[in-house]
Structure 1
Amino acid sequence: MPYKLIDGKIAPLTFTAEEVMKRLKEDKIKFIDLQFTGLFGRFHHTTMDAKMFRIEDFADGLPKVDGSSIRGFTEIHESDLIIRPDPATYATIPWIEQAPTARLICDILSGGSKRDIFPRDPRGLAKKAERYCGEQGYDTSYWGPEVEFFVFDKLEVNTMTPYQGQSYHITSREAPWSSDNVGYALRLKDGYLPSAPGDTLMEYRNQCVDVLTNNFGIVCDAHHHEVATAGQCEIDIRFDTLVNAADSVQSYKYIVKNIAQKRNMMATMMPKPIALDNGSGMHVNVSLWNKGKNLFYDPDDDYAEMSQTARYFGGGIMEHAQALASIVAPTTNSYRRLVPGYEAPVYVAWSTGNRSAIIRIPAHYKGQKFSAMKRIEFRAPDPSCNPYLAFCAIMAAGLDGIRKKRDIGDPVKEDIFKMTPKRRRELGITQLPASLRQAYEALESDSAFLKPILDDETIEKIIEHEERENVEVSVRPHPHEFALYADV
C-alpha cells in the first residue's frame, strides 16, 4: 500500500479501481506500464495504451504474458498466463516525459477457466505467506528492508571473448583509483556518512527520495552514503506489511536504476562488485503483531526486551539459516560478500549490537514507549534476492521455529570474526554456506519448513536455476587465478 505525508504524518494512500480510472484522466496518462516479478526477482513489464484499459481489467486481468519465456514459470505447452493489475499500486513515472505514463503492479494468474493465482507468482506466494501468518494467530507482520546498492559513473564488462580473456572496469569519481576525484577520494571501507565533496551522490539520492515519496507513495526516513567507496548508497524506506514491503523493494530498485541512468550513471544491486571492500546487504527487520500489539516485545527481558515468541521466531531462522541462504542470498556473487572482515554476517548467532552475527536485536531505545520498534533484524539477505520469496522464506522459518519451540539460545557478545575456531565450536556457532552450491544443497536437504508456502516445484525451480548459474561461473577461470597460478 502506498503512503503519503499529510501535515507531517504518514497516511495510507489507497486507490480503488474506480479511483484509478479517474486518476488516469486527471493525470492525462497516455500509457500504462503493467509490471510483475519473475520467480528469480527480475522486474518485467508490458505497456499498453491507456485508452484501451478498462475497469474490468482489474478483475479479469489481461492476456499479456507468455509464461514459457519467463525463466522459471512454465513450459511451452502451458505458456498462456494472465496479469491482473492491483489498483493500490498506481503511480506515475516522472522520468518518462514525452508520453505521461503510469505503472500498476500485477498478480499473475493461470490461463483457462479457473484463473487461479499462478503457483510460481512471487507476489501471489507473498499473499499466501500473509494468509499463513494469519492462520497461525498473527493478524499482521511488519517488514523493514534496508536496501544498499552501488552507483557507478560507468561499468564496462567484457564477457564475449572468454578464450581471449574476460574483464570488467568500474569508473567512479569517488573511488581512490579514479583520476576524476580531485583529491576527495573515499578510501576502501571508509565511505560511511562522509560529507560533500567526498559524498558525490547526495543530489541523486534526494531525487530518488522525491520520486519514491511523491510519485510512488513510498515513505523514506533518511538516506546516506554507505561504508564502501565508489558510490555505495542506502535509502531507508518505512516498514510495511509483507506484500507491500516487497512491492516497495521492487519499486525502489526500479526507481534508483532508472534515475541513475537518466543521470548517465549506473546503479547496481550486485552484492559484492568491489574487491577488498564492503558489499551491499539488504537487512530485513521483522515483527509479528496481533490486535495492535507487538508480540516481539517483552519488558521483563532485561537483555533485549525480547519476548519468547521472538526468541522462537529467531530460533527458526537460525535452525534453517543454511537453507535460507539459498533464497535470501541467491547469486554466486552473494558469497563474495558473505566473508569475514567486511561487516557481512557469516556466523549463525545473535546479539543486540554484534554485526558479525546473522541476527541482531536493535536496542537503540528501551521501554514501553518504544515497544513498537522491537524487531528481529536478519542480516544475511542481500539486494540480489527476490524480496517476495525472501520474506516468504523468512516467515516460514520463523513460524516453524514458533511451532517447534526452537529457542534462539544465548546471545554472543564477542566479535565472532576474532574468535578461534575452537572458541566458536565451544559456543556452538556454525557458519553460513561459503558458496551458492553449498546453499542450494542445504535447501535440497532442508526444505520441509517452506512447504506451507512454497510447493515442491517452486523449490525445484529455484535449485535448478542456482545450480545452472553456479556452473556458469565455476567453469570459467577467474582473472586473479592467472596471477596466482600462471607460473606453476
Structure 2
Amino acid sequence: MDGAQFMNARDVKTVADAKRIVQERGIDYVKVGIFDVDGIMRGKYMSREKFFSALDGGFGFCDVVLGWDSNDQLYDSATYTGWHTAYPDAPVRIIPESCRELPMEENSILFLGEFEEKAETVCPRGVLRRVLDRADKMGLKATAACEFEFFVFDETPESVREKNYKDLENITPGFFGYSMLRNSVHSEFYHDLLNLCTEMDMPIEGLHTETGPGVLEAALAHDDALSAADKASLFKTFTKILCQRQGWMATFMAKWSGEYPGQSGHIHISLANKDGSSAFHDTSKTNNMSDTMRHFIGGQQALMPEILAMVACTVNSYSRLIPGYWAPTEATWSVDNRTTALRAIPGGEKSQRVEYRIAAADINPYIALAAAIGSGLWGIENKIEPTAPVEGNAYEKKFPAKLQLPQTLYEAAGRLRKSKAAQDLFGKDFVEHFAQSREWEEREFRKAITSWEMERYFEII
C-alpha cells in the first residue's frame, strides 16, 4: 500500500515480529546464516514457509560445518562429528533479534542462527554466551568493540588465483596513513562502506587509511559483547562482499606480506555493574583503575599463553607476532602503551577500558571475545594480580618465561588443550574440539611447499 509504514528490521525482537516483517514486505525467500569455527558465514535462502517453521521449532543444519576447515576439508580427529557419526543434522535456532536489512539485495533480509543441544557446546556464538552468562552471575555486564585493519586489492577471486597470489595490485600505492588524499579519491567506496554498515546495524565510529598500500582501518561502535561479536563477524563478511561486487578484494589475514606490518583486530572491553556503573573506573585508584579492572587484566595476562590459539587462530597469525611490527610478543600489559599485548586505557566512567591488542584481523570474533572476556573474569574470580605495567618500548625489554607466548599454532593448540582454566571457562567439549581443529590447520600447512622454500633450497641445497 502507498505510504504504508513497514517494520524496521532492527525492531524485530520476537518470533511474531520476524513473521510479521516477512509478511509485510512480501518476502518469498529469507537469508539465514551461521558462523562456523573459523568465523566463516555459512547459510542459505529459505522459503517463507520453511522459515516460519524454523522460527517455531528450529531447523536442521548439517553439522559438517562444525567438522571441516575453512577450505571445506574434513577434520581427521574430531570427536564431536565425523564419518563415525555420519554427519547428521544439528539443531539450529533462528535469532529473531538478529534481523538485518540486506541493502545489496532487493527486498531481502538476513537472520542469524546458532547451534543448539550438543552442537551448542562447540558453537562459537554459544561459547561466548556461556562466558557472558558467567559474567551475569558475577553481577557484571561486558561491552566491547572491535577494530579491523584490512588491505584492499584491485583484484578478483579469479585474478588472484591466476597470479598464484603473487604481484597483487593494491587499490592505492605507498603508505599514506590517515590520508585525506586517498580517502577523498576513493570517497565513493568509503561512503558505500559507511552506509552499508549503518543500514546493517554495525556502525563504524572511525574509518581511515592505515600505513601501507590500500590498507584501511575501521573501528566499530561498542555494544554489549554478544552484539559486538555479531557486528564484527558481519562486518568482515560484508566488507569482503562489498569489495568483490566492486571488482576488488579485501583480506583480513593477520599478515599478507613480509614487507608490511600485520593487520590488527584489536578488541576494546569494559565491564559494568548491575546498576550500570563502570566496574573498571575508581577515582581513588592509580590511573582510575579499580581492583576489578586490575584483576581482570591480571587474568588476561596470566591465561594469554594458554588460550592464545583462540585468538591467534591461523598459521598465518604467528607471522604477525614478531618484534617491531606493532604486534606484541609476550603477555605484557601497560597503561596507554601500544607495544604491549594489553593496554589499559584510563578515562572517565564511560571510557575506561582494556584494549586486547594481541588480536589480529583474522580472529573469529565470537571465540576471541570469549577468550578475552573469559580470562578476565577468571582473573576477577581468583583475584589475579598482574605484573608491574611496562613503561617504554616493550620490544626492548626482557620478560620472564611465564609471559612468553607460543610461537606456532600447533604449540598454542597444545597449551589450550591442557589448560584447566580454559576447560572451566569454555567447556571441555569446546576446548577439545577447537584444539584439534587448530592442530589440523597446522598439519595442513605442513603439507605445503612454500615459495620461500623453493627459492631458498631448490638450486643451492
Q: Which of 103, 106, 110 matches 1:94?
A: 103
Cα contact 2:12–2:18 (8 A) shared by 1: no
| CA shift for structure 1 position 14 | 5.0
Q: Deviations over 1:292-313 (max 9, x none)?
A: 11111111233x2111111111
Does 2:340 align with 1:360?
Answer: no
C-alpha distance in 2 between matches for 1:120 and 1:297: 34
Q: Which of 9, 26, 29 matches 2:27?
A: 29
Specify the SS of the correspondent of 2:319.
helix
Cα contact 2:183–2:209 (8 A) shared by 1: no
Does the C-alpha gap of structure 1 residues 401 and 197 become closer, same or farther in structure 2, counting only changes over 3 Å? closer
TM-score, normalization: structure 1?
0.83
C-alpha distance in 1 between matches for 2:142 and 2:246: 37
Read off the aligned partner of 2:398 and give its amino acid letter.
R
Cα contact 1:205–1:235 (8 A) shared by 2: no
Q: Deviations over 1:124-172 (max 9, x none)?
A: 222211111111231x11111112222111165559xxxxx96534221
Specify the SS of the correspondent of 2:424.
coil
Does 2:41 align with 1:68?
Answer: no
| CA shift for structure 1 position 203 | 2.5
Which structure 2 residues correspond to residues 275-294 of structure 1 after superposition, within 5 A?
A: 275-290=258-273, 291-294=275-278
Match of 1:9 in 2: none
Cα contact 1:29–1:50 (8 A) shared by 2: yes
Specify the SS of the correspondent of 1:144.
strand
RMSD: 2.4
Does 2:417 align with 1:444?
Answer: yes
| CA shift for structure 1 position 199 | 6.8
Match of 1:398 in 2: 376
Cα contact 2:344–2:353 (8 A) shared by 1: yes
C-alpha distance in 1 between matches for 2:192 and 2:334: 36
Specify the SS of the correspondent of 1:274.
coil
Does the C-alpha gap of structure 1 residues 371 and 92 become closer, same or farther in structure 2, counting only changes over 3 Å? same
Does the C-alpha gap of structure 1 residues 220 and 50 become closer, same or farther in structure 2, counting only changes over 3 Å? same
Does 2:116 align with 1:109?
Answer: yes
Read off the aligned partner of 1:280 and give its amino acid letter.
Q
Cα contact 2:183–2:190 (8 A) shared by 1: no
C-alpha distance in 2 between matches for 1:31 and 1:13: 20
Cα contact 2:252–2:361 (8 A) shared by 1: yes
Match of 2:171 in 1: 173
Specify the SS of the correspondent of 1:385.
coil
For structure 1, the 5+ residue unaligned runs are 1-11, 111-115, 160-164, 175-184
Does the C-alpha gap of structure 1 residues 237 and 167 become closer, same or farther in structure 2, counting only changes over 3 Å? closer
Read off the aligned partner of 2:31 and give its amino acid letter.
D
Does 2:323 align with 1:340?
Answer: yes
Match of 2:5 in 1: none
Specify the SS of the correspondent of 2:262.
coil
C-alpha distance in 1 between matches for 2:444 and 2:411: 16
Specify the SS of the correspondent of 1:293.
coil
C-alpha distance in 1 between matches for 2:291 and 2:206: 32
C-alpha distance in 2 between matches for 1:202 and 1:431: 43
Report the number of matched residues. 435
Cα contact 1:202–1:224 (8 A) shared by 2: no
Match of 1:19 in 2: 17
| CA shift for structure 1 position 103 | 0.7
For structure 2, the 5+ residue unaligned runs are 1-9, 69-79
Match of 2:153 in 1: 152
Read off the aligned partner of 1:35 and give its amino acid letter.
G
C-alpha distance in 2 between matches for 1:28 and 1:482: 57
Q: Which of 420, 424, 445 matches 2:398?
A: 424
Does 2:200 align with 1:207?
Answer: no
C-alpha distance in 2 between matches for 1:478 and 1:200: 37
Match of 2:240 in 1: 257
Does the C-alpha gap of structure 1 residues 452 and 431 become closer, same or farther in structure 2, counting only changes over 3 Å? closer
Does the C-alpha gap of structure 1 residues 86 and 406 become closer, same or farther in structure 2, counting only changes over 3 Å? same
C-alpha distance in 1 between matches for 2:203 and 2:408: 35
Specify the SS of the correspondent of 1:105.
strand
More helix by share: 2
C-alpha distance in 1 between matches for 2:180 and 2:372: 36
